[in-house]
Amino acid sequence: MLRELGLDYYRFSLSWPRILPTGFPDKINEAGVQYYNNLIDELLKYNIEPVVTIYHWDLPQKLQEMGGWINPYVIDWYTDYARVAFELFGNKVKNWITINEPYQICDYGSDSKPLTTLFNITGVADYICAKNILLAHAKAYHVYDKKYRPNQGGAIFISLSAQYNDYEFKEYKDAAEDANDFTWGIYSHPIFSKYGDFPSSVKKRVKAKSIQQGFPRSRLPQLTPNEIEYIRGSSDYFGLSHYYTFYVYRNESVKGLYPSPSTNDDLEVATYQKEEWKAGQMNINKIGALGFYKLLAKIRNDYDNPPVIITENGLATKEGLDDDDRVTFYRLYINAMLDAIDDGSDIRSYTAWSMMDNFEWLRGFSARYGLYEVDFKNPERTRTPRKSAFVYKQIVRTRELDWHYEPNTDVMTIDEGH
């Protein structure tokens, strides 16, 4: 499939328990290591660069039972695992993503919408998790930078899920800014801002709410001056996963709307999307490409134009090969990205999510993000290119957006010259 599409690189994730079945480096599963070596070798054989995510939500169960990402020892557990990955694959892999989408790990995992860790202690655990993830990421970065980069010569960065919170009415400008700070700025600001640390809006709002609720101190843990300096600058790229744009408002109707304490109660906003924004069949993420453009501009302006790698961008549909909504989505979002580049954004790579249908967490196999449809009823799991696969192949081959291109979907051929 990668060869058919003519892609330059492939992003995939390692499984922590597949490599370290005990969760610790005392035992390495050689069969798991061989699996990844086979994949990496095959990619390199066809000049397809492996971009490897070290952690994508699959914490070993034993470590989860010991507190997972709210246990400060997880910083060392994760770094030990990352070090094993660098040792095993670093001579072949030159692009590493430390952690995938920390907001989803911490917020979804401790709220009432379980996705990754199933802790329902929002407003406390999620903030502890955020600090531990930032320190774990930074520690892996520094280990790689000092010990492995001199010989292996690669790059290492974090991938943040950043949805854009916009405002339709001027009185909600601050609310939208706060929403961006709480949902992704809490991770990007410590790494990419000039002075580091958590965003001031997050620190102020959480502290004020905590005191009001009777806590003796802020529920948001502090970063020490040494920790701030350790985290700041610890990413070679701004890894960006993006799907949604929301309009934000904050008024009396929002007060008391959320459980207290909680991050939603600390933030105290509500969101909505425009009905006219074209949606996929799943109505999960509507098409708001202007928000993608504004997000890229915000990253450029707020963080002194860091080099950006877009690690995920895509649309969910149902079954079927004629996915015109997805075709529209990719054309509009890639066009928005090109507009941002014209404005000066330093965007290095773009990654579609996803190459083929996969398991989408609580939505199971119902939400289809793939350029290739997977027949999950067939024991062979047959993959068939959708219309979007042909269009994406055309974009990759020509390096241009042809808004009128209509592919011949009868056959997909491999570019042997890739």
Judge whether residue 114 has pLDDT over 50. Answer: no
Supply the residues annotated as catalytic: 312
**C-alpha torsion 241→244→245→248, nearest 10:** -110
Is 48 part of a structural domain of the chain? no
pLDDT tens track for 191-250: 999 999 999 999 999 999 999 999 999 999 999 999 999 999 999 999 999 999 999 999
273: number of CA atoms within 13 Å, CB side?
20
Q: How far is it, in rounded angstroms, from Cα 86 to Cα 148?
A: 7
**Average pLDDT of the residues in 392-403:** 96
Q: How far is it, in rounded angstroms, from Cα 401 to Cα 257?
A: 44
pLDDT tens track for 247-269: 999 999 999 999 999 999 999 99
pLDDT at position 119 is 58
Judge whether residue 414 has pLDDT over 80. Answer: no
pLDDT at position 263 is 95
pLDDT tens track for 115-171: 544 556 789 999 999 999 999 999 999 999 999 999 999 999 999 999 999 999 999
Total count of residues recorded for the chain: 418
Is 88 part of a structural domain of the chain? no
pLDDT at position 411 is 80
Domain extent, residue 360, equals 279-418
Is 241 part of a structural domain of the chain? no
State pTM to two decimals.
Answer: 0.96
121 φ/ψ angles, rounded to the nearest 5 degrees: -135, 55
Q: What secondary structure, in 3-state letters, does 309-334 show? A: EEEECCCCECCCCCCHHHHHHHHHHH
pLDDT at position 319 is 93
Is 413 part of a structural domain of the chain? yes
Is 335 part of a structural domain of the chain? yes
Is 253 part of a structural domain of the chain? no
pLDDT tens track for 28-83: 999 999 999 999 999 999 999 999 999 999 999 999 999 999 999 999 999 999 99
Number of domains in the chain: 1
**Average pLDDT of the residues in 172-190:** 98
Is 123 part of a structural domain of the chain? no
Is 137 part of a structural domain of the chain? no
Give me the chain's average pLDDT, please.
94
